[in-house]
């Protein structure tokens, strides 16, 4: 969570050349990116959802989605992902060491996500249609700027940009409210 960077609880530094894909060197982030930490956050997210909606099936799905972040990080990160706070064991398969393979894998994941979302939803109105495509185009532009733009000026900028990503979540929520599930 970027708030942990702002509070100085976790630490990342800008180190151009750290990997072929990102200039970020994740120095210390055991509470948000360790396997144990992610399991904790999955339980928190699922628990909050259960208190509100009482739907255990969705709780399991949400927990699995939170855990999937760690699995994807395992694929991309250099061996810097902690297993648990306090343990020195760190893992990562290092996809970010290859710009081409990173672009291929991440673009494929993004495209598959769009495909499945479009397959199961349809726009209720123009907001659901144009809002959806606007979000997709905007996310692609942000991705391109992150990949091919210059390194962030400092770590605080990374933390603030990370916190502002909640605006994308609100945008996606608004889009989803203007779309319906397709019935076969």
**Tell me: the pLDDT tens digits for 158-168?**
999 999 999 99
* Mean pLDDT, rounded, for 152-163: 90
pLDDT value at position 100? 97
pLDDT value at position 184? 61
- Burial (CB count within 10 angstroms: exposed 0-12, middle 13-18, buried 19+), residue 98: middle
> Half-sphere exposure of residue 116, counting CA atoms within 13 Å on the CB side?
5
Where in the sequence is the domain holding 19, given as residue range(s)?
1-97
> Half-sphere exposure of residue 158, counting CA atoms within 13 Å on the CB side?
24
What pLDDT, in 10s, does the model give residues 5-24?
Answer: 999 999 999 999 899 999 99
Question: Is 103 in the same domain as 93?
Answer: no
Q: What is the pTM of this model?
A: 0.85
Of 97, 112, 128, the position where a domain reaches its end is 97
**Taking all residues of the chain, what is their mean pLDDT, rounded to a whole number?**
94
Question: Is 66 in the same domain as 108?
Answer: no
- Cα separation, 67 vs 116, in Å, equals 20
Query: 72, 62 in Cβ contact below 8 A?
Result: no
Question: Is 9 in the same domain as 53?
Answer: yes
Residues 6+ apart with CB under 8 A from 15: 23, 24, 25
pLDDT value at position 74? 96
Question: Is 7 in the same domain as 86?
Answer: yes
Percent of the chain at pLDDT exceeding 70: 99
Of 43, 78, 97, the position where a domain reaches its end is 97
* Mean pLDDT, rounded, for 123-140: 97
Q: List, in sequence order, every beta strand (DSSP E) within 64-130.
A: 81-82, 90-91, 121-123
Question: Is 90 in the same domain as 135?
Answer: no
Decide: helix, strand or coil at residue 10.
coil
Neighbours of 102 (CB within 10 A): 20
Question: Is 119 in the same domain as 93?
Answer: no
Q: How would residue 1 be classed by pLDDT, with cut points 50, 70 and 90?
A: confident
DSSP letter for each residue of 45-65: HHHHHHHHH--HHHHHHHHHH
What pLDDT, in 10s, does the model give residues 43-91?
Answer: 999 999 999 999 899 999 999 999 999 999 999 999 999 999 999 999 9
Percent of the chain at pLDDT exceeding 90: 88
């Amino acid at each position: 969570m970027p708030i942990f960077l702002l509070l100085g609880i976790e630490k990342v530094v800008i180190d151009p050349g750290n990997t072929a894909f990102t200039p970020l060197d994740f120095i210390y982030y055991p509470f948000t990116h360790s396997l144990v930490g992610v399991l904790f956050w999955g339980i928190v997210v699922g628990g909050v959802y259960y208190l509100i909606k009482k739907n255990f099936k969705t709780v399991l799905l949400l927990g699995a989605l939170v855990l999937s972040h760690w699995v994807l990080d395992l694929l991309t990160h250099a061996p810097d992902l902690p297993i648990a706070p306090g343990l020195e064991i760190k893992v990562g398969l290092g996809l970010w060491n290859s710009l081409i393979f990173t672009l291929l894998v991440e673009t494929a994941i993004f495209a598959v996500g769009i495909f499945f979302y479009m397959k199961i939803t349809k726009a209720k109105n123009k907001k659901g249609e144009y809002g959806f495509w606007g979000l997709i185009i905007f996310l692609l532009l942000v991705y391109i700027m992150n990949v091919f733009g210059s390194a962030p000026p400092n770590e605080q900028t990374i933390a603030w940009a990370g916190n502002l990503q909640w605006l994308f979540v609100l945008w996606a929520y608004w889009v989803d409210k203007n779309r319906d599930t397709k019935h076969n």
